[in-house]
Structure 1
């Protein structure tokens, strides 16, 4: 599939998700899942893009990070976060770290990129909001909003910390199971 066709397919999928979320019809299909294995799978899928961008991806994964989550939606969350880290990291290394407790898992995606101005942080997870000019970076401002909506639908939360010129870290915390 050509690059433009892939971009259009992503946009259509994002708009469909916006419609589902807005209508309260985002369906989750939780299943037993090893989040570490999913992180490795997503990282492997990004290898050609990482190589092309001259970016290195470092994974720090525990021996075990099992829980009950929607595999497709978590893949979407990881893909959005890693894609953004690559895009705004400008060829600098990207780190993905996973840690777990008895009740929760924590996923950190860190880039060493341009960072986000502090005044943009409060609205970063809003629909159609972007922290940088569209002239410099592609996208329509739906990815992080979808990440937040999906993570919250799974009973978790997502946060960001950032420093201009140093980079950003997006943190997702998810319960292992919803009760």
Structure 2
């Protein structure tokens, strides 16, 4: 914005140019905030200090709220996001961390989904809640499927897709802190399916605070 003003030669800067500059600054600040949050989470996880606040939740409701936030980004990338949830799937979890799991998986699906549809399923089982996120994008080779859950790791070049390789690492750590598991099924060129299974009454890991 300073460059816009200094380059105007004393003339009034057009509103459109100011809005464009402000929008660019806002996008960069958002990216920086996401980066700082990710690094803070890595620090907390490394030190075993990921605090959890337990409450009664419906996974389907959390998923729909997150998908709604991604509506503009999904439209921009040409991807349709479909949510399939048969009735409420309730349990006791940390809302903020559950939202983070859904956000990371959905963001990952849109990034690597090649503009194709993304589907999110929520299923209730006796004592368990299952969350599945499926894309139809570039896929992941079998030699990378375990490594992508490590810190600073990914299956593709950072030059083409950006990011630090922390999203899936943080996601797995949160899922484990909630007492659950996460796995991926994929083939190169045929998309990827991430499946999260959570106990409805979670037993906290040593990094979290238990119910009550």
TM-score, length basis structure 1: 0.98
1:114 equivalent in alignment to 2:111: no
Q: Give the corresponding residue for 2:53.
A: 29
Structure with larger Rg:
2
Q: Does 1:5 align with 2:23?
A: no
Residues in 2 aligned to 1:87 and 1:29: alpha-carbon distance in whole angstroms: 30
Question: What's the RMSD between the two structures over aligned residues?
Answer: 0.9
Question: What residue ranges of structure 1 are gaps of 5+ in the alignment?
Answer: none
TM-score for both structures, normalised by structure 2: 0.83
Structure having the larger proportion of residues in strand: 1
| 1:85 and 2:136 aligned | no
Q: 53, 60, 74: which is aligned to 2:98?
A: 74
1:99 equivalent in structure 2: 123
Q: Which runs of 4+ in 1 moved over 3 A?
A: none
Which of residues 121, 124, 149 in structure 2 aligns to 1:125? Answer: 149
Cα distance in 1 for partners of 2:34, 2:91 equals 27
Structure 2 unmatched ranges of 5 or more: 1-24, 204-212
Counterparts of 2:192 and 2:144 in 1: how far apart (Å)? 13
Q: Mean alpha-carbon deviation: is it higher for 98-107 or for 1-10?
A: 1-10
Question: Hey, what's the Cα distance between the residues in 2 that align with 1:77 and 1:68?
Answer: 15
